[in-house]
Amino acid sequence: MIGAIAGDIIGSVYERHPIKTTDFPLFQPRSRFTDDSVLTVAIADALLTGQSYRDAVRDWGRRYPRAGYGGTFFQWLFATDPQPYHSWGNGSAMRVSPVGRAFDSEAEVLRQARLSAAITHDHPEGIKGAQATALAVYLARTGAEKATIRARIQTQFGYDLAGTVDALRPGYTFDVSCQGSVPAALIAFLDADSYEDTVRNAVSLGGDSDTLACIAGGIAEAFYGGVPEAIRAEVRARLPPDLWAVVEAFEHRYPVGAVRC
């Protein structure tokens, strides 16, 4: 979970100022958490407390109304009777990583990912993006190798993951769709050698940087068994106490597992 939040914070500086290089400072004075982090915490809190995904997302979203939500989601957040709005946007995938950590079967991970997405993103692509991301987290934390993760996600969801970051980067542009974001984030992870390398790859694509790094970072944390302590410290320094408390509680209940050599 903290891997997703760290990716969001690291990528936040470049969301509207994309770059095409992996050579950049991980944290800067303007690095901050965005809606990706708030809603990841919301899903985690729902899993901790038994609150519905919809209620948890609305609760946390209203606590942080200026976190950078999309316009349609913002309207949903404050609607009297909010209904899903058939979105295929990457918002369903950016918030789902806790689901891949919290359940012990692929079937339940996929079911819960669908439920978490469908409160807003009930378009088939919105559902698919959440399920692919959650399954990748699950496979990574349960010991699957990258070749297996690549093959499973390609076969089950039809994403093309055959490329490399270097091949994808030149033509990649800002894309807020699940179908444009999730495969790119997965390639950033699959083509990396470490958690930090994963996040640098994701940001360097020059797209929706905070969300790409959030999605990729959540998978990388599960695969590598955590994030470097220096990155964890930077995240803690940037999160308000209520957000950090959920992170700690979630990690205590759902530890990430052994570090992969």
Angle at 139 between CA 194 and CA 197, to 5 degrees: 15
Q: Which domain holds residue 153?
A: 2-253
> Is residue 258 in a domain?
no
Q: Which residue matches tokens 């699957």?
A: 144
* Amino acid 240: pLDDT: 98
Q: What percent of the chain stands above pLDDT 90?
A: 96
* Amino acid 261: pLDDT: 41
| Residues 6+ away with beta carbon under 8 Å from 238 | 9, 31, 32, 33
> Is residue 9 in a domain?
yes
Could you tell me how far CA 35 lies from the centroid of its own chain? Answer: 11
* Amino acid 255: pLDDT: 87
> Is residue 182 in a domain?
yes
> Is residue 43 in a domain?
yes
| Residues 6+ away with beta carbon under 8 Å from 212 | 7, 11, 181, 184, 185, 188, 202, 203, 205
Is 104 in a helix, a strand, or coil? coil
* Amino acid 260: pLDDT: 56
> Is residue 261 in a domain?
no
> Is residue 260 in a domain?
no
Using 50 as the pLDDT threshold, list the residues of the chain that sit under it.
261
> Is residue 259 in a domain?
no
Angle at 191 between CA 177 and CA 176, to 5 degrees: 10
Rounded to whole angstroms, the Cα distance separating 113 from 133 reads 9
The string of pLDDT tens digits covering residues 146-159 is 999 999 999 999 99
Short-list 259, 239, 258, CA closest to 44: 239
Q: How many domains does the chain have?
A: 1
Answer whether 260's CB lies under 8 Å from 223's CB.
Answer: yes
**CATH assignment of the domain containing 197:** 1.10.4080.10
> Is residue 38 in a domain?
yes
